[in-house]
Structure 1
Amino acid sequence: MGDVKGHSRWCRSGRITVAVCVLVLVGITGVYRGGAIAQKADGQAPSHDWIDEIEKVFIRSEDCKQCHDRHYEEWKGVREQTPDLKTFGRVDAALLHGTSLESPVFRTVLGVWMQTNPTAEEQRRCLSCHVPSTTVFPQHAEKIAAQVLAGKPQVEGIGCASCHLIGSVEKNGGPPPTFKLQPGNTLFGPYADPEENLVHQAAQSDLYRGANFCASCHFDKVKDVTQKDLPGEILQGTICQDCHMEPSTGSSTSKRGAMTRAIGRHWFRGVVIPGTLLKNRNLQAEWMPRLDIEVGKTGGTVEGTALVKIGSLPHSFPDGDPVLKQFYLTVTAKDAKGKVLAEEIKHFGLPYDKILRGPIPDPFIKGGHTRKVPFSLTVPAGATAATVEAVLSYALIPTPEPALRDKYLATLASDKEREEAKKILSEYTQPRMLTYRAKSL
């Protein structure tokens, strides 16, 4: 939280005059309490009244940067300017919260999905986690979607206020998201002793040290979104923030604060820190999916069941997203020389025209469960199957039907935009292998 006491000490040091110090405090206070129009990155004020309405409640993160510059830079990815981040708005295959609307990946997926003619309510449902302010201002969801599709979002997606205005979560579960925003001048956080300041009120909430805070949007990751702690021996005492907000010490502001206070990085890396897996072999064993095969031969038919298993870790892997992620189970029969005799591909996942129509389905495989997938392969006459192989792969987004893809590409304004969209669709629909199993017959 902001530390105005630090400003005062700075002023008294003689580096700036008291008058200037007062102006700084009054100016910052006016940004929040006065509901002043927040400036865009290019210095231009928003041109629509409905944007002003949103930003009077959801102060832009650029204004928080005045005191919380370290967290701002992490959230925005300023310190991680990798080619992936510049091109796709991601780091290590994880989309940063600060690019939730600006990412070309989100624009492309939303654009394809919009060609399936979702209702206004379905659009609000889609945006509720990408733009939490739509849960307070649902009447503006369609205008926000239109700005994203134009590649010029003027409102902020997941900003500082989106998370720090969460006062509670739904205790009885329910449709995601389960967070409850509390619009006002109070920003919530994990500290028991927030500094008094003239910029905004601050209050501690135990919610910020609970898995249920993250699971209010990332509902697919855990078995029970209402629980503060992750159950089980392997992750006992661990919450989402321990891995995805890299632990550090220091001050949450750039001005002063307790320099030995525990803080977490605000870039929310989506790929778990490798060291966590390396130092906890039980965690690695429980996390990784594995395959087994039950199979038999009857004449020219090879049939059986592929068993997809995952340990009891209370975190779906890999990113058990039941909305966009696609899974492919490829079962292949080969002869003794390795020649492919027959192959069957089982596809699991929603197509674009089914997304957010009706209840959100369960992930492909939940922690502690085994999914049984039957298969039947017909071997050509005169050939003999010697082995059966099973490969489990996944893709990050659905592959659109050619007509749907072309319909979306036709809405883009230039060949450059179309080429970028094609590249995104090609990369993100590419299957990535998870695990493999072979069995002799």
Structure 2
Amino acid sequence: MREQTMDLKTFGRVDGALLHGTALTSSVFKTVLGLWLQTDPDQEQRTRCLSCHAPAVTVFPQHTDRIIDQVMKGAKRVKIEGISCSACHLITGNQENAFGHPTFKMEAGATFYGSYAEPEENLVHPSGQADIYRGAHYCASCHFDKVKDVTRPDIPGEILKGTICQDCHMERSTGSSTSQRGALTRPIGRHWFQGIVIPGIMLSNRNLQAEWFSRVDIEAKKVKGQVEGEILVRNGALPHTFPGGDPVLKQFYVTITLKNSNGQVLDQYQERFGRTFEELLRGPIPRPFVNGGITRHVPFSLKVPQDSDAVLIEASVSYSLIPEPSKDLTKKFLESLASDKEREAAERIIKDYSSPRLLTFRTMDL
């Protein structure tokens, strides 16, 4: 089922397509940014925060605080474009980043780049060709949690061999150019960046789970009054990891529960994977726990009480889209807002987006 929201029916530009490129006017983005600003990030860290949402700051970092100021004053005050024509079409390649991500290379100037060799001279701007526009590494420079290697132009594996992100998310169409020779009709990729809306009932489809969802396996054995082992969280190589959301912010929780024959809990262990607001962008960006093509190993040891019989292990993976802020951080941020209405809206967003939700689980008889 294709998304048919009004913005997709009305706009053909990236900055009108869902949340791709519209973070700067999002109340969720404002709330998360506002919380993080209360942790006193330095100038470099603030610029890094905007580097994917407003790529121009990687070339013009002196404008970082002006953009942040507009975001915090509310959507109607935002005058800066985040992801716009120039933000994407000034990219000429990819490069290593000392902090990990993003890996795009931007060249500021009048020339816009794209996938066409020998581009037509047009009436708007000089044009150039760059190979990166025909590779998955163009998208993965920011969407780095979708693939194992963000420098590869192709997607590994036989299933999607010869296919890249743009083939699905920039559907083929035709359009006119602004050539000096007059309007020319040519093949183009649509810039709506449509995703797929998945009805809840489809999430029980095993084929869909195999492609999109992490899979949990349990390896365990009884050893002298306890159960030891590890949880394996396998993430498929296809670039369709679920859930979506910002890979820097996402939190994952692995919970292992030991039960007896009556279903009573004997012992439980939980480990959180993700950064707190105070840790965000303080150093290199780690790989998200759920990252395409990566298998995670989570060791555990659970105690079996005397005169108890452990018969079942349950392992689950849950997620939240943002870290849960501390009470002090939340209070500090809410006090910085101008009105009760803003505070109420921010509290709802914090509660909704930081609440864990079940992703997948598995059980094992001992």
Which TM-score band applies after superposition, normalised by the shorter structure? 0.7 to 0.9
**Would you say the 8 A contact 1:291–1:437 is kept in 2?**
yes
**Corresponding residue for 1:251?**
175
1:75 partner amino acid: D
Q: Determine which of 93, 96, 111 is the counterpart of 2:34.
A: 111
Given the alignment of the two structures, is residue 288 of structure 1 paired with residue 213 of structure 2, yes or no? yes
Map of 1:362-441 to 2, 5 A cutoff?
362-441=287-366
**Corresponding residue for 2:4?**
none
User: Structure 2: how far apart are the matches of 1:166 and 1:295?
Assistant: 49
User: Structure 2: how far apart are the matches of 1:249 and 1:322?
Assistant: 31
User: Structure 1: how far apart are the matches of 2:271 and 2:315?
Assistant: 11
Given the alignment of the two structures, is residue 75 of structure 1 paired with residue 15 of structure 2, yes or no? yes
User: Structure 2: how far apart are the matches of 1:417 and 1:388?
Assistant: 44
1:251 partner amino acid: G
**CA-CA distance at 1:123 after TM superposition:** 0.5
User: Structure 1: how far apart are the matches of 2:353 and 2:242?
Assistant: 17
2:344 partner amino acid: E
Change (3 A) 1:283 1:237: farther
**Would you say the 8 A contact 2:257–2:267 is kept in 1?**
yes
Q: Determine which of 112, 120, 131 is the counterpart of 2:54.
A: 131
**Corresponding residue for 2:282?**
357
Q: Which has the larger radius of gyration?
A: 1
1:341 partner amino acid: L
Give the SS at the match of 1:303.
strand
User: Structure 2: how far apart are the matches of 1:378 and 1:404?
Assistant: 35
Given the alignment of the two structures, is residue 148 of structure 1 paired with residue 71 of structure 2, yes or no? yes
Give the SS at the match of 2:81.
coil
**Corresponding residue for 1:336?**
261
TM-score by length of 1: 0.71
**CA-CA distance at 1:168 after TM superposition:** 2.7
User: Structure 1: how far apart are the matches of 2:49 and 2:293?
Assistant: 29
1:127 partner amino acid: L
User: Structure 2: how far apart are the matches of 1:220 and 1:335?
Assistant: 38
Give the SS at the match of 1:426.
helix
Provide the identity percentage: 55
User: Structure 1: how far apart are the matches of 2:124 and 2:188?
Assistant: 21
User: Structure 2: how far apart are the matches of 1:375 and 1:271?
Assistant: 37
**Would you say the 8 A contact 1:304–1:376 is kept in 2?**
yes
* Segment of structure 1 superposing worse, 334-343 or 122-131: 334-343
**CA-CA distance at 1:164 after TM superposition:** 1.4
The Cα offsets for residues 145-180 of structure 1, whole Å up to 9 and x where unpaired, read as: 12212223221111111111222322x565422222
Change (3 A) 1:102 1:389: same
Give the SS at the match of 2:24.
coil
Given the alignment of the two structures, is residue 347 of structure 1 paired with residue 272 of structure 2, yes or no? yes
TM-score by length of 2: 0.84
User: Structure 2: how far apart are the matches of 1:284 and 1:376?
Assistant: 28
Structure 2: which 5+ residue stretches go unaligned? 1-9
**Would you say the 8 A contact 1:144–1:155 is kept in 2?**
yes
User: Structure 2: how far apart are the matches of 1:271 and 1:351?
Assistant: 30
1:126 partner amino acid: C
* Segment of structure 1 superposing worse, 153-162 or 204-213: 204-213
**CA-CA distance at 1:253 after TM superposition:** 6.2
**CA-CA distance at 1:431 after TM superposition:** 1.9
Change (3 A) 1:312 1:135: closer
**Would you say the 8 A contact 1:220–1:320 is kept in 2?**
no
The Cα offsets for residues 121-158 of structure 1, whole Å up to 9 and x where unpaired, read as: 11011111111111221112122212212223221111
User: Structure 2: how far apart are the matches of 1:303 and 1:252?
Assistant: 64
1:140 partner amino acid: H
**Would you say the 8 A contact 1:328–1:392 is kept in 2?**
yes
User: Structure 2: how far apart are the matches of 1:272 and 1:322?
Assistant: 20
**CA-CA distance at 1:256 after TM superposition:** 5.2
**Corresponding residue for 1:29?**
none
1:76 partner amino acid: G
The Cα offsets for residues 195-232 of structure 1, whole Å up to 9 and x where unpaired, read as: 54322223333322211211222233222222222232
Structure 1: which 5+ residue stretches go unaligned? 1-68, 78-90
Change (3 A) 1:403 1:316: same
**Corresponding residue for 1:96?**
20
User: Structure 2: how far apart are the matches of 1:350 and 1:162?
Assistant: 28
User: Structure 2: how far apart are the matches of 1:370 and 1:212?
Assistant: 21
What is the Cα-based RMSD across aligned positions, in Å?
A: 3.0
